[in-house]
Structure 1
């Protein structure tokens, strides 16, 4: 019987050649860039006195989680109870669920994990007294203690208390629930936009830290060194600066939570990285590690090609795929040809329309490596992918758990 993983698109085996042995399309991660990104972000956080809890929802690939943890990550951030269960089943020992735990079935998943594994270090977010009451009742009835963090948001943003007064009120509500332990305060700056985004994000981070100090002074936290946490994948340098203060380092565990950095991208996060480098003065940043590879399957008109991949294979929410290089089966990796002047103009379920730049030699059966914007929505289209070396040999395959 054929193994189930061999029936998935992009199936590969270690040692296989990306140019000759794998049925395309395939999800590809370049090992050198992956290793660079993991080490770079870990060092960025550590040098600023912060811990790193990478957001695992980007890849939902336990093999990548383990690489991040082995490099020094404090834990993993996840978004749902089901994601948490998958991570715990693959050896993750600490999870910050940067979301609310709502609904009895989801609460039951976490209760089962805590019952079976009392040393599993789990934290989730709360932003409303009704939610605090529901969690207190559910976990109290089972004799379990649940660690929670207050989520602090911004008007018009995502979740979170909308004012400092609401944060104080929620802390009092948590104190009235014997089954809950307040372990920190959390925010997310990625919903702050506009011409004054940098100023507004800095003000938000300062407010977050100020609230953390106030609650600590009131004895609201159950930890001697409570957690203060924020940062997505675009503005993490501003959050790190707010956390990189002596009083924060001494009194709190500052935790950063970027996720997309693990493979970076060729689009929105590439653009955001330019801002990070400009603000920090760093010479070297993250490197795009993720690509999707596909064949040229039709050339029905001059200067026009159809690629054998589409919306089911690659993200398109933050920009269309970007042609990078052309390969030919049987050639060496070093014989790649730059095709970045070509343009994908539209994608369908299983097809991408590409305008071929003048002077670009292209034939049916050629292989195109494509970059993408917003890696989260590329990963979730795959159940397995491959990590390749400089010679485009597969060194590792990995599964996703979406």
Structure 2
């Protein structure tokens, strides 16, 4: 496990959110209590992880990566959970991706800012000299910041990936790429490590426009790789891309480039797909099936069927003030809403599942800590009912929680997973 000090574990006693209000329970004993959110054993709302779904998504994607000739460094900023990052590494992930100095572990998937940020990064790296580290740069100014980091960390070969981009950060043309390469070659303590990009920022609501934009970005990435290879003829280089919603497109474009080179690796930075969801990733996997699905061991499989949503938000009904309105005990502080509102999945009353009720409900809007639920006037939904909701966009849901709960196939809590969002 390649990790950095911001992931030093904090005791679960630091927060009571979601935990029954009982003092003195060691975190390692939580999985033995037999708690079930469906029975109201947890202080709701609570966020839970379907352990089998997460493991299945992990194994499916790693098998696909092996067959596609690519590697993955899962983006740690999705769960910020040391335990889950460790599980992905132990299952075969190449490394871990982070977005800023606080998350720094193996591959810094962003620029770090100016010289002051370089000094902060250098101080962090000096404390962990054994960590393999790669950072992005899309300008000579970003390179200067990394050179400052290398100097403070006393590193002689800090790896820099030239970042290509569209819609977000990243060099926009050949001249900008050449300027970054020249700056790295001229700097003490830095080496060219490869090329990176993020294809997700190229996506638009128009399918054909998105296809063209990503294809163009992949061509630019391959061209930039050729320039870096010319400047660093003997180094093993990395070709890195985002790889959650369009990992099939990325691999098809970049894996042949690495194979032809013979001394390069493709590193995807996928994070959210390990959790999947009932929103944007469900739609992304359906689009992937339209493009041909997943090919594993020569067999074509459905991405939409293969990846299963692993996160569930549990909440209880607080009020039914009008015949067609119910208020649930969660809101914008508990659930993602930037890519779609939560979806009612299942419903329990006094620990017994009530069939046929949840699918007739709909979340219409959120306050800070209240969800407005549209209800059929004749529904028997009652105060105290517990509802399991699916979410859209795991990243912006997980970052609201300091503790998430693993659940087994029967819906019982297996463990508590602390997160490190600060």
TM-score when scaled to structure 1? Answer: 0.90
Please name the residue that 2:94 is paired with.
74
Give me the CA root mean square deviation: 2.0
Task: Provide the rounded CA distance (Å) in 2 between the counterparts of 1:226 and 1:8.
Answer: 45
Alignment map for 1:149-298 (pairs within 5 Å)? 149-154=161-166, 157-194=167-204, 195=206, 196-216=209-229, 218-220=230-232, 224-245=235-256, 248=259, 250-281=262-293, 282-283=301-302, 284-298=305-319
Task: Provide the rounded CA distance (Å) in 1 between the counterparts of 2:273 and 2:91.
Answer: 14
Task: Provide the rounded CA distance (Å) in 1 between the counterparts of 2:258 and 2:316.
Answer: 55
Q: Secondary structure at the match of 2:77?
A: helix
Please name the residue that 2:392 is paired with.
373
- Aligned to 2:337, which of 313, 316, 327? 316
Task: Provide the rounded CA distance (Å) in 2 between the counterparts of 1:108 and 1:189.
Answer: 30
Bigger CA drift: 378-387 or 140-149?
140-149
Task: Provide the rounded CA distance (Å) in 2 between the counterparts of 1:143 and 1:158.
Answer: 31
Alpha carbons of structure 1 residues 228 and 23: separation in structure 2 relative to 1, 3 Å: same
1:140-167, Cα deviation, whole Å (9 max, x unpaired): 255323221111112xx11111102211
Alpha carbons of structure 1 residues 98 and 4: separation in structure 2 relative to 1, 3 Å: closer
Shift of 1:4: 5.6
Is the 8 Å Cα contact of residues 296 and 307 (structure 1) preserved in structure 2?
A: yes
The number of residue pairs the alignment matches comes to 385
1:209-254, Cα deviation, whole Å (9 max, x unpaired): 23213321x2336x63200011242111100111232753623111
Shift of 1:270: 0.8
Shift of 1:314: 0.4
Bigger CA drift: 370-379 or 96-105?
96-105
Q: Secondary structure at the match of 1:202?
A: helix
Task: Provide the rounded CA distance (Å) in 1 between the counterparts of 2:193 and 2:345.
Answer: 46
Please name the residue that 1:91 is paired with.
none
Unaligned runs of 5+ in 2: 1-10, 21-29, 294-300
Please name the residue that 1:10 is paired with.
18
Unaligned runs of 5+ in 1: 89-94
Is the 8 Å Cα contact of residues 171 and 220 (structure 1) preserved in structure 2?
A: no
- Aligned to 1:382, which of 383, 396, 401? 401
Task: Provide the rounded CA distance (Å) in 1 between the counterparts of 2:365 and 2:409.
Answer: 30
Task: Provide the rounded CA distance (Å) in 2 between the counterparts of 1:139 and 1:356.
Answer: 59
Please name the residue that 2:48 is paired with.
28
1:56 equivalenced with 2:76 (yes/no): yes
TM-score when scaled to structure 2? Answer: 0.86
1:328 equivalenced with 2:349 (yes/no): yes
Task: Provide the rounded CA distance (Å) in 2 between the counterparts of 1:34 and 1:400.
Answer: 16
Task: Provide the rounded CA distance (Å) in 1 between the counterparts of 2:12 and 2:213.
Answer: 49
- Aligned to 2:146, which of 132, 135, 160? 135
Alpha carbons of structure 1 residues 206 and 362: separation in structure 2 relative to 1, 3 Å: same
Task: Provide the rounded CA distance (Å) in 2 between the counterparts of 1:131 and 1:6.
Answer: 37
Task: Provide the rounded CA distance (Å) in 1 between the counterparts of 2:14 and 2:377.
Answer: 39
Task: Provide the rounded CA distance (Å) in 1 between the counterparts of 2:36 and 2:153.
Answer: 53
Q: Secondary structure at the match of 2:404?
A: strand
Is the 8 Å Cα contact of residues 311 and 390 (structure 2) preserved in structure 1?
A: yes
Is the 8 Å Cα contact of residues 327 and 371 (structure 2) preserved in structure 1?
A: yes
